[in-house]
Structure 1
Amino acid sequence: MIYTPMNKIFSFILLLCFSLILSSCGQEEEQQRKMSEEPTPRVITMQPYGPPVKGNPAPDFTLVDIEGRTWTLSELKGQVVFLNFWATWCPPCISEMPSMQNLYDTLPKDQFKMLAILYSDEAGNAKDFVKKLDITLPILVDEGNQVGMNYGLTGVPETFILDKEGIIREAVKGPAEWDSAESIHMLRGYIDQ
């Protein structure tokens, strides 16, 4: 075979291509080896909170009220607990608040705790509101709305009644007349258990 400049160029290109193919095969094998040695990334899936179910324990929380006191739900075991989620911009919440105050004044404080949890609202609004209506029940502030999300709120007002063991016994969506004979009878039933 006679080597011409064209043959030399062709041979050089062929040799170069062959070298590249061989070197890339080695790199691919090296990448596969490294990948098999590296740990596989873990995927963590978060389970969203669903609404609490009657008969199950209530989600625990710690919140601060508008007076600066800290409340932890689990520390209230042994008492019936009334949790009401509300907001100052919510007319039904405002309309049920006087009946809640009457209920709060009626039932024994050593066996019954009422906590009104301000949801999706500003603490300053609640302070003005309680002064106007002379509300004395504890108003807790759900900063970031996490507690409300844990309780699966679909709106406000929503109320949960917990027995002395912290089990959800009643869940009420919307406003109610909390100082009615039926409501007082129902709550006294849980207190007397």
Structure 2
Amino acid sequence: MNASFSKAVCRAALAALLLWATAAPGAGLDTSLVRAAGMKPYPVPLTAPAFRLPRLGDDASRTKGNYRGQVVLLNFWASWCPPCREEFPSLERLQEQFEGEEFTVLAVTVADDAVGVERFLGGREVPFDILIDTTERTADAYRAAGVPVTYLLDREGRLLAGKSGPDEWDSPAMVRLIRAAVEEQ
């Protein structure tokens, strides 16, 4: 095989990859919206790891598939984490803004248990699922080192963006980002 043929094949493969990446669902999310919301955009949607975790309140197992068809803001947190406790009300307010739409916050508590979470909640109900990851396997699979860590997933369960550290999740910039993700597909 000659060098010019090899270069042509490489260029064609790169062009096809770039075309696929821009045509893939979720790839059309405006990166400036993602950055304005304080998250790091991923160049192409990444396959999110599968999980099976018990849900707070009824211990019913939930998987990534239970949230298929919804845009998901996946938040790894802990009831004993001061920044997580501080940001939690903004997650509740964000969910309430998108009530009835194909969006959900999904809170996965890490290295925590139902008793600690229930103590933190003080008897109040939250408008989204809280899953319990006592083994930290799911957090490890998502490379959520420390808490809080948050990801934005598309309707297919693919990672679009991520952020380490706390945030004000119902900020106008985040609401614009979520609105764009919900309306994208």
Question: What is the TM-score of this pair, normalised by structure 2?
Answer: 0.71
Amino acid at match of 1:98: P
Q: Which has the higher contact order (CA 8 A, sep 6+)?
A: 2
Instruction: Give per-residue Cα distances to partners, 1:115-160, cap 9 Å, x unaligned.
Output: 1101011210101212256534221101311100101122100001
Most deviating of 58-67 and 89-98: 58-67
Gaps of 5+ in 2: 1-41
Amino acid at match of 2:57: E
Distance in 2 between residues matched to 1:66 and 1:114, nearest whole Å = 14
1:172 to 153, 157, 163: 163
Report if the CA contact (8 A) 2:71-2:155 is conserved.
Answer: yes
Report if the CA contact (8 A) 2:139-2:145 is conserved.
Answer: no
Distance in 2 between residues matched to 1:76 and 1:137, nearest whole Å = 11
Structure 1's consecutive aligned runs of 4 or more residues displaced over 6 angstroms after TM superposition are none
The DSSP-based 3-state class of the residue aligned with 2:108 is: strand
Question: How many Å apart are 1:181 and its aligned residue?
Answer: 0.5
The residue number in structure 1 matching 2:115 is 124
Report if the CA contact (8 A) 1:54-1:167 is conserved.
Answer: no
The residue number in structure 2 matching 1:74 is 65
The residue number in structure 2 matching 1:96 is 87
Corresponding pairs, count: 142
Task: Give 1 or 2 for the bigger CA radius of gyration.
Answer: 1
Distance in 2 between residues matched to 1:139 and 1:53, nearest whole Å = 29
Question: How many Å apart are 1:161 and its aligned residue?
Answer: 0.6
Aligned pairs for 1:2-151 (under 5 A) are: 55-68=45-58, 69-131=60-122, 135-151=126-142
Identity of aligned residues (%): 34
Gaps of 5+ in 1: 1-51
Amino acid at match of 1:151: Y
Report if the CA contact (8 A) 2:72-2:152 is conserved.
Answer: yes
Question: How many Å apart are 1:75 and its aligned residue?
Answer: 3.1
Distance in 1 between residues matched to 2:97 and 2:144, nearest whole Å = 27
Q: CA RMSD in A?
A: 1.9
Report if the CA contact (8 A) 1:53-1:168 is conserved.
Answer: no
The DSSP-based 3-state class of the residue aligned with 1:103 is: helix
Question: How many Å apart are 1:72 and its aligned residue?
Answer: 1.2
Greater share of residues in strand: 2
Amino acid at match of 1:75: N
| Compared CA separation, residues 54 and 62, structure 1 to 2 (3 A) | farther
